[in-house]
């Protein structure tokens, strides 16, 4: 399965939801997550994310993100239609430590 990681927070470009064949993205206030039981591992979303926030869960060091995606996918609403990203998405791209500072 694939997971959404730190750099999605406050960038939230939503290009990913447009390409996912099984609509398995779920939306929080500042980021999206992927439902691990619904993702079919097609990999189509990974290159579409302008923030390079989507990674295969086999990448090293992603354990906390695997858990976060799985946990929040159960309670956040499904999202299938892209909207405008936050107005400061560009400025937020690459900011360090977004989970601690901005996650909600
Ligand atoms: Fe959807 Fe494929 Fe990305 Fe999984 S890897 S979230 S199925 S686009
Ligand atoms: Fe986030 Fe990238 Fe999708 S920034 S909303 S994972 S396109």
| pLDDT tens-place string over residues 11-24 | 999 999 999 999 99
Q: Is 54 close to ligand 2, i.e. is its CB under 6 Å away?
A: yes
Question: Which residue has a Cα nearest atom 4 of ligand 1?
Answer: 39
Q: What is the pLDDT of residue 64?
A: 97
The band of 53, judged by pLDDT with boundaries at 50, 70 and 90, is very high
Q: Ligand 2: distance of its center to the CA of 82 in Å? A: 10
What pLDDT was estimated at residue 19? 98
What is the CATH code for 2-81? 3.30.70.20
pLDDT at 104: 77
Q: 18: Cβ below 6 Å to ligand 1?
A: no
Q: Is the CB of 13 under 6 A from ligand 2?
A: yes
Contacts of 96-104 with C-beta under 8 Å, sequence gap 24+, read 97/6, 98/6, 98/7, 98/9, 98/10, 99/6, 99/9, 102/9, 102/10, 102/30, 103/9, 103/30, 103/31, 104/28, 104/29, 104/30
């Amino acid at each position: 399965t694939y997971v959404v990681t730190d750099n999605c927070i406050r960038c939230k470009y939503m290009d990913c939801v447009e390409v996912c064949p099984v609509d398995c993205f779920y939306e929080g206030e500042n980021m999206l997550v992927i439902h691990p039981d619904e993702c079919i591992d097609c990999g189509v979303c990974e290159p579409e994310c302008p923030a390079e926030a989507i990674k295969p869960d086999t990448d090293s060091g992603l354990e906390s993100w695997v858990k976060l995606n799985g946990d929040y996918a159960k309670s956040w609403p499904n999202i299938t239609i892209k909207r405008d990203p936050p107005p400061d998405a560009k400025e937020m791209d690459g900011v360090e430590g977004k989970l601690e500072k901005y996650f909600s």
